[in-house]
Structure 1
Amino acid sequence: METGIAKAIRLAGSQTALGTMLGLTPQAVQKWASQGFAPGDRCREVEAALGGQVTRYELNPAVFGDPPAVEAQPQ
């Protein structure tokens, strides 16, 4: 299964591209990839940079837990 950080790297195009979006070095992003998650204080930034295509819940489930349930809208 793809981790949230692996998904973010794939969506950005590369570790270098994600790092550039966030003002980080590719090595910093590589560290996240090797540990399997993004730091909790950076998850919302990654989520915003990728337009919500990857969520903070995917990027660090230990900090953010499961995503909130989507409630059905009345018709």
Structure 2
Amino acid sequence: MNEQLKKKVKSITTQTALGEAMGLSSQAVSRWMNSGKVPTSRVRALCQFLNWQITPHEIDPEAYPNPTDGLPKQES
């Protein structure tokens, strides 16, 4: 997660609110933000909490190599 993406997350929510929504401490979220690496097992939940304003591909392009990977299926 680059600096621009970190700023985008911070513009949408706080670390405390994010931690509470995901059942984590704000310190755990802070570690993600400081290291720039969200655990792959948490990427989709993070994106869902952020209303898909940030995609899994943006957060972890190695685990989600295509821009639409990890996004919810569109209903027809």
Question: How many residue pairs end up in the alignment?
Answer: 65
Task: Tell me the C-alpha RMSD between the 2 structures.
Answer: 1.5
Query: Any unmatched runs of 5+ in structure 2?
Result: 69-76
Equivalent-residue separation in structure 1 for 2:24 and 2:41 (angstroms): 14
Equivalent-residue separation in structure 2 for 1:42 and 1:11 (angstroms): 17
Larger relative contact order (C-alpha < 8 A, sep ≥ 6)? Answer: 1
**Which structure has the highest helix share of the two?**
1
Query: Any unmatched runs of 5+ in structure 1?
Result: 69-75
Compare CA radii of gyration and give the structure with the larger one. 1
The structure-2 alpha-carbon separation of the partners of 1:21 and 1:9, relative to structure 1 and needing over 3 Å to count, comes to farther
- After TM superposition, the score normalised by the length of structure 1 is 0.73
Structure 2 residue aligned with 1:63: 63
Task: Tell me if structure 2 keeps the 8 A contact 1:56–1:64.
Answer: yes
The 5 Å alignment of 1:2-41 reads 2-3=4-5, 6=6, 7-12=8-13, 14-41=14-41
Equivalent-residue separation in structure 2 for 1:9 and 1:18 (angstroms): 10
- After TM superposition, the score normalised by the length of structure 2 is 0.73
Structure 2 residue aligned with 1:51: 51
